[in-house]
Amino acid sequence: MKEDVGERIVAGVAAAARRRALAVVGGEVLERDGLVLALSNLADPDLNGTYLEREPVDPMGALSWASSETTSRGHPLGIDLASRRFPGLAEAVERFGLVVVEARHAMAARPESLVSVTQPPGVSIRPVETRADALALALVDAAAWESDAENSFRAFANGALVPGVKAFVAWEGQKAVGCVAAHAHADSIGVFGVGVVPDARRRGLGRALTIAASTAFDADLVWLFPTTMAGDMYRHLGFEEVEPWDIWVSKRASS
């Protein structure tokens, strides 16, 4: 990949964060000096984050603004950052008193280069087209990630039915057993929330959901952020590591 794939991922992450926040009733997006605050205003730190589109001219000033806006709404300051790509901000974030609580790698592939997979026997993967489909997706998300069901309903059910998003639910008979969402931005696809309920795991459903999302739009790049345990699965599908990202939060919130 000769182009700057990492730059495209940075832009796609910010676009997806905006979309997710604004899909929530009461959500908002605030921007200043290259920072994007995507706030669902739900009681979940993972749904209230700060993202970067460019290196701020005044990193400490931008961080002070972000901290003021988030804490005034009852949220800790958290930043999802490609730290090596933006060393100036990463240094400022550390001086501001934030610490890394999670390190991960962005991975990317050309959609046409991905390995072909088949759906597990007895399972069908179908697009989310109705409110009932979206509610099923939210229920699966909560079960797969052991997260708060109300937050999943308020954030992901609405977010599955907005322009630029194509979501999918895996069904085994009448039971929803898996989910995924694809976010489009500038001819790229971001794959989010690959989730499978515990009793349907280890059957290849995560791979099938990933491929469904990776081909949901006409695009020349697909990217995602795997969990540590899922990294090998994505490598086998054809994804390659691009660069590390860190999630920074205030020391008080991390303790």
The CA distance from 188 to 169, in Å, is 21
For 112, phi then psi, to 5°, come to -70, -15
pLDDT (average), residues 68-73: 97
Instruction: For residue range 84-135, list pLDDT tens digits in order.
Output: 999 999 999 999 999 999 999 999 999 999 999 999 999 999 999 999 999 9
Spatial CA neighbour of 46 closest among 23, 17, 73: 17
Residue 10 has pLDDT above 70, yes or no: yes
The CA distance from 8 to 229, in Å, is 25
* pLDDT confidence of residue 255: 55
Percent of the chain beyond pLDDT 70? 97
Q: List the domains of the chain with CATH numbers.
A: 5-104+244-254 (3.40.630.30), 111-219 (3.40.630.30)
Instruction: For residue range 158-167, list pLDDT tens digits in order.
Output: 999 999 999 9
Instruction: For residue range 131-174, list pLDDT tens digits in order.
Output: 999 999 999 999 999 999 999 999 999 999 999 999 999 999 99
Instruction: Enter the pTM of the model.
Output: 0.95
Residue 252 has pLDDT above 90, yes or no: no
